Amino acid sequence: MIERNTTKDKETENLGVIDPRNTLTTLLGKAKGNLAESELKWLTGLADFVECETENLSKTLSALGCLVGSDENNTGSFQNGSQTSALLFSLSNQLDTLSGLAHVANYAQDRFNNPELYVNAEVAK
């Protein structure tokens, strides 16, 4: 029988739901004070990635809408609830991931551009 480590469970119970944005935000919270200037600069590049991916997702959704809308014989995918819900849950997770990446990029950009605002916060630790 496997014993549960209740101390560990209590430590993680306030972390919230395991989803892409929450995971990225939690990891960023742990790394904040340990990021070098070069790492912050690298993380600012996430903004370009998020912009590109949201544009790609928009075009994909538009094309998918056209495809489903023009399927007069109902022969394609997404004709029943389970297919449609799987698609929507996947899209939701993609958007959640992009939101988390944008959060990391915005934090890195602000910290890179305004390091003086973070000096006192790190000393207080």
Which distant-in-sequence residues (6+ apart) come within 8 Å of 116 by Cβ? none
Q: Is the pLDDT of residue 6 over 60?
A: no
Contact 102, 47 (CB under 8 A): yes
Q: Is the pLDDT of residue 7 over 60?
A: no
Residue boundaries of the structural domains of the chain: 35-69+81-125
The confidence score (pLDDT) of residue 14 equals: 76
- Look up the pTM and report it: 0.69
pLDDT tens digits, one per residue of 13-33: 677 888 899 999 999 999 988
How close are the terminal C-alpha atoms of the chain, in Å? Answer: 40
The confidence score (pLDDT) of residue 38 equals: 94
Contact 21, 96 (CB under 8 A): yes
Contact 97, 57 (CB under 8 A): no
